[in-house]
A and B are shown apart, each in its own frame.
Chain A
Amino acid sequence: MAQVARQVVEKAGINVDELLKLLVKNASAELTTYYYYTILRTNLIGLQGEGIKEIAETARIEDRNHFEALVPRIYELGGKLPDDMKEFHDISACPPANLPKDKHDVMGILKVLVEAERCAVRGYTQICNMTAGKDHRTYDLALAILNEEIEHESWFSEFLGEGPSGHFLRRGETSPFVSKFLK
């Protein structure tokens, strides 16, 4: 634990135990989403499915990166991760991104993906709101993750035809916003 780092956050008026619970729940969401996206990706087949497989894979890898980036901050603030993998799943800040009933329904899979990203966008917005101007390091991290989650939401939303597209698949490395926390 980084004692002074925790003290300054408490002194700024943040309930650190509450913040830690939120960080752990969001880390759990990232890890479980990484798993569920693996299943979704493998079912993206055929002419339609293969077309979005790569973008689903990028979102999957970046969600795992988000988990990796959150873990050090949780321990710095004096928190810990669940000992039990099942608990991870059950405390997740977002519902399971299960396959739709028809597992080869590409539009159905896209709707699952976009809902998962929207849940994440809400979660990191909440953490940013809580920490803005008070816990600079957590804010910086949550904002970096939020930037990537918003892009993920946009990708899937645009594939669903919800509006004009302003985004492209990543060119180059994954996690352009979060990578500074992974070095």
Chain B
Amino acid sequence: MQPFIIYYMLKSACMKKFNKSDLVYFDGKNGRPAYIAFEGKVYDVSASFLWRGGAHLVLHQAGRDLTEDLQHAPHGPELLSRVKQIGIL
């Protein structure tokens, strides 16, 4: 098995698993962390200026799966490479 495949398997195994109801808690409000999900991956956007207060440009809220929302956004998933993946959905 290729080393990078082993690396990604180990990384996935170490990732925290969330379901949609777990995710709701991480809405970025009242000091809670801001997590968002996209295509089965959960990202921590708490430190992002663009997610202050758990909302992104009025229209998007943290604590949710934004896979559908991103289809209509003026940017693609490439911007998620700037934030840390912390789990899987």
Q: List 21 A-B contacts (CB under 8 A).
A: A18-B58, A18-B59, A22-B57, A22-B59, A25-B57, A25-B58, A90-B52, A91-B52, A92-B49, A93-B50, A93-B57, A94-B50, A95-B49, A96-B49, A121-B74, A122-B73, A122-B75, A123-B74, A126-B59, A126-B74, A129-B74
Residue among A21, A92, A96, A125 making CB contact with B58, cutoff 8 Å: A21
Q: Chain B's interface: helix, strand, loop or mixed, by majority?
A: loop
User: A96 CA to B49 CA in the complex, in Å?
Assistant: 9
How many A residues, CB 8 Å from partner? 17
In A1-31, the 8 Å CB interface with B consists of: 18, 21-22, 25
User: A94 CA to B74 CA in the complex, in Å?
Assistant: 14
In B57-79, the 8 Å CB interface with A consists of: 57-59, 72-75
In A121-159, the 8 Å CB interface with B consists of: 121-123, 125-126, 129
In B18-60, the 8 Å CB interface with A consists of: 49-50, 52, 57-59
The reply to whether B75 and A95 contact each other, CB–CB distance below 8 Å, is: no
In A99-134, the 8 Å CB interface with B consists of: 121-123, 125-126, 129
Chain A, residue nearest B75 (CB)? A122
Chain B, residue nearest A124 (CB)? B74
Contact A125/B74 with A22-B57, A25-B57 known, Cβ cut-off 8 Å: yes
Chain B, residue nearest A130 (CB)? B59
Q: Chain A's nearest CB lies how many Å from the CB of B80?
A: 14
The reply to whether A22 and B58 contact each other, CB–CB distance below 8 Å, is: yes
Q: Chain A's nearest CB lies how many Å from the CB of B36?
A: 17
Q: Chain B's nearest CB lies how many Å from the CB of A34?
A: 18
Closest 8 CB pairs of A and B: A95-B49, A125-B74, A122-B74, A21-B58, A126-B74, A122-B75, A22-B58, A18-B58
Contact A95/B58 with A122-B74, A126-B74, A129-B74 known, Cβ cut-off 8 Å: no
The reply to whether A95 and B50 contact each other, CB–CB distance below 8 Å, is: yes
B50 to chain A: which residues have CB within 8 Å? 93-95
In A36-91, the 8 Å CB interface with B consists of: 90-91
A95 to chain B: which residues have CB within 8 Å? 49-50
B72 to chain A: which residues have CB within 8 Å? 129
User: A59 CA to B58 CA in the complex, in Å?
Assistant: 26
Q: Chain A's nearest CB lies how many Å from the CB of B60?
A: 11
